[in-house]
Structure 1
Amino acid sequence: MRGRLLATAVAAVALSGISAPQALADAGVSGQDEMFLMQAHQGNLAEIAAGHDARKGATSACVKHVGAALVRDHTKLDADVKMLADKLNVTLPTSPSAEQKKELAAVQAKAGSPAYDAAWLTAQDAAHRKTLALIDQEIKAGKNTEVVAAARTARPVVAMHLDMVRGGICHAAKDAGMVRAGTGGHLVAADDSSTTAVGMAGVIGGGLLAAGGAAWLLHARRRPAHKS
């Protein structure tokens, strides 16, 4: 009887959309998930450093704008990565990779000249293609649902950045704006308020369903069995 009640309770919570059982599903972190968090963190650090450098070394306003966008967005994306890594006990690197440092230094050597802008854009085109490949691999092969979700929601931000530097040409107009911190980097859409309203309605409805299910189970447990 207790086993049947527990199964019913789990089903009620699952129908509600509340992620109480998710701790069980997310308990394990695969090698793929760990690698993604580590490399995503290093990529964020590299993009933040490159963005700061562009604001100092670039000659065009467009490249400076794109650099500022990288700092803005990758700082927020990295906050999510660090939060997940801390929760899942994944130790992150403390700096970009040796290859990323070498690439940044090569671009920095051209600071203050038009050659810098061209080198910076080309480097960022290559870097964001690599990051998209990393994200797609996690979406395809990741095991931890939270890490996969973070990769999924960061993807449009990285894709936007690639559009801003695609082909080594600066396209500041591709900047869609701020990303929300703590949400895996979702872009803020023009109809964000309606999306939020729908999401809140789902959460409220799910909460009511879960509460109703819990109350029914409590009543069933307390109700004395009828004698035959």
Structure 2
Amino acid sequence: MRNRLLIAAAVTAVTAGVCGPAAVAADRADNQDAVFLASVHQGNLAEIAAGQDAQRNATTECVKTVGARIVADHQKLDQDVKAVAAQLKTTLPTAPTADQQQKLKDVQAKAKTSGYDSAWLAGQDAAHRSTLALIRLEISSGKDSAAVAAAKQAEPVVTMHLDMVRGGTCHAM
């Protein structure tokens, strides 16, 4: 039953664009901590790129401010993920998934328009909802105490980010 839940979570994460290719996720589904670390690392890389892009291409100060906050927070979260991955000897991907990269390109096509801000906020809402689900799965099912601790530390940060973009509306704090 637990393996089915992990596989379902990995497939959900893949379709949401949060983690790597389905084959990688399925191969790692028996190791919750490795799936979590790889998925969240790619999510951090994607969020950093998206936040930097928002600072350049958003039309409102609110989206630019939220983008800057997302960059700073995800850089910090990713330092923690990399430290835990090194401790567990888990190899992390080197880039966001192809789906994450394509989603950013789709948003970038609307650069410097109000359509950009709307698309960016909607994408951030979806990405942070998916990341929060992965974090909560790690908290409830993870085996390694350091990975679970990293998830617990990330949960309020990702929740705050979701609150800032909830419903595709910008709420800078």
Give the TM-score, by structure 1 length. 0.62
State the distance in 1 between where 2:112 and 2:56 align: 8
Runs of 4+ off more than 4 Å: none
Mapping for residues 168-183 of structure 1, pairs under 5 Å: 168-173=168-173
Task: Give aligned pairs, total.
Answer: 144
What residue is the counterpart of 2:157 in the other structure? Answer: 157
What residue is the counterpart of 1:130 in the other structure? Answer: 130
State the distance in 1 between where 2:80 and 2:138 align: 15
State the distance in 2 between where 1:147 and 1:167 align: 29
1:33 aligns with 2:27: no
State the distance in 2 between where 1:34 and 1:128 align: 20
Q: CA RMSD in A?
A: 0.7
SS in 1 for 2:117: helix
Residues 52-75 of structure 1 show CA distances to partners (whole Å, capped at 9, x for unaligned) of: 000001000000000000000000
Quote the offset at 1:88 in angstroms: 1.1
State the distance in 2 between where 1:145 and 1:82 align: 15
Percent identical pairs in the alignment equals: 62
Mapping for residues 132-151 of structure 1, pairs under 5 Å: 132-151=132-151
Residues 64-122 of structure 1 show CA distances to partners (whole Å, capped at 9, x for unaligned) of: 00000000000000000001111110000000011111111100000010100000000
Structure 2, gaps ≥5 residues long:
1-29
State the distance in 2 between where 1:160 and 1:61 align: 18
State the distance in 2 between where 1:158 and 1:110 align: 25
SS in 2 for 1:172: coil
1:98 aligns with 2:93: no
SS in 2 for 1:90: coil
Which is richer in helix?
Answer: 2
